[in-house]
Amino acid sequence: MSAGSDPVSPLEQALHAARALVLADLVAQEVAEADVVSMVEDSVVQRRWWVEQWPDGAAYVAGLIAQDVQDALLERYGRWPLCPVCGTGDPHALDVEPELGPDPRWVCHKAGVRVAAVGALGAATGGSSPS
């Protein structure tokens, strides 16, 4: 446990924030199990390298990590995050938009709607019933 006098770099802050956003969405859909969390960590490690090569991409890491985790989950578990908007038809996953850009959002291409910002999926799926 070293206190460390280094200030936290903007890159680390961006990575930390991105990690928290993706974890929040995993929790929202109740898939934040230990091995899933380690998928997030793996992605953070890779994106740290990526963003060190291209610091201007710091704003993009949340969307990229969300997509990395989505791909990893698809191989191991299945689709994530499931669309909370379409009540009928085949279950399908949301997509991140933009694929490479700031302020990533989950969108349903089937319904053509923006569901939630990455990190805010819990608010979209939080079970508040329409009145």
Position 79 contacts Zn ion (CB under 5 A)? no
Return the range that interacts with Zn ion (CB under 5 A); candidates 19-27, 45-53, 68-76, 102-110: 102-110
Position 121 contacts Zn ion (CB under 5 A)? no
Tell me the two tokens of residue 37: 């969390």
Position 108 contacts Zn ion (CB under 5 A)? yes
- Residue 112's Cβ-count burial label (10 Å; 0-12, 13-18, 19+) is exposed
Position 114 contacts Zn ion (CB under 5 A)? no
- Residue ranges that bind Zn ion, judged by CB under 5 A: 83, 85-86, 108, 110-111
